[in-house]
Amino acid sequence: MSDKKYVLDASALLAVMLGEAGGEAVHAVLAQAHIGAVNLSEVVAKLQERGVPDEVIDLSLADLDVSVVPFDRSQAVRAGKLRTTTRSAGLSLGDRACLATDAELGAIAITTDQAWAPGKPPPCPGWPSSAT
């Protein structure tokens, strides 16, 4: 088992759950993956928007058993401070929350979001690299 830790963006977990592009690569690191509470909320909201019943959402999340990291004061401040440097890349609050969780854990951020495309890391000086 790898010592690497990963933090999933909502798009990464959705790719696994919905069988979207990139989902296989994300599935390969699920055992070492965490997701921030903000991003988990985003996943649930997106699944509801697609008409997935609440019971199915609950069962699917339980089956995946990904560690959920609470969004605390430190992460909230980090995410807020990222607004200016990430605005031009179009990163949302959820994206910035993921990066703040990533920094807090010293992990590698995993996303399928095109704003974080390969060769175009989020403009966040001092943050660990993100991956797709």
Residue with tokens 């997701």: 35
Per-residue pLDDT averaged across 62-67, rounded? 91
Q: What is the dihedral of CA 55, 58, 63, 67, to 10 degrees?
A: 180
106 vs 25: CA distance, rounded Å: 20
In contact, 106 and 5? CB cutoff 8 Å: yes
Residue 120 has pLDDT above 60, yes or no: no
- Whole-number pLDDT of residue 117: 54
Q: Which residues contact 48 (CB under 8 A, 6 or more apart)?
A: 54, 57
- Whole-number pLDDT of residue 42: 96
Hey, which bits of the chain come out as E strands? 6-8, 33-36, 67-69, 108-110, 130-131
- Whole-number pLDDT of residue 115: 66
Confidence of residue 71 (pLDDT cuts 50, 70, 90): very high
- Whole-number pLDDT of residue 62: 93
Q: Tell me the CA distances in angstroms from 60 to 1, 14, 16, 78, 85, one per residue in order.
A: 24, 11, 11, 30, 35
76 vs 62: CA distance, rounded Å: 26
